[in-house]
Amino acid sequence: MVKVTIAELAGTLAQLQAQMAEVSRRLEAMEKRDSGKMGASQAAAEPRAAASVPAPAAPREAITEEELLAISAAIGAYLGVRAHIRQIRLLGTSAWAQQGRVSIQASHSLQG
């Protein structure tokens, strides 16, 4: 197992935060540039559209407010800044279940 010192971890975290700050800055610049191209009616409607959660394509109930707050808090904790969620899509994938099965099967010892 590779041992990582706290100083190395702190350095990596600082680099990640700097990269995320740069991405946020570039995104804000792009949004400002794009908002100048929109009409006044579209610009006024955008904050309301960003706050709404679209209905999922799969037959599942809508995302609850608690789930939306949890997702928002997780994104904010990861990025270090408040982020605006524009769209949430629910994907129907079995990757987590498959990985869990692989992990369980790999833990069993095979008898010869």
Give the helix ranges, DSSP H, for the chain.
Answer: 6-37, 40-51, 65-79, 95-107
- Domain range summary for the chain, segments of one domain joined by +: 1-38, 46-112
Give the pTM: 0.32
**Using an 8 Å Cβ cutoff, are 54 and 20 in contact?**
no
Residues 40-65 have pLDDT tens digits of 445 454 554 444 555 444 455 677 88
Look at residue 61 in the predicted model and tell me its pLDDT: 66
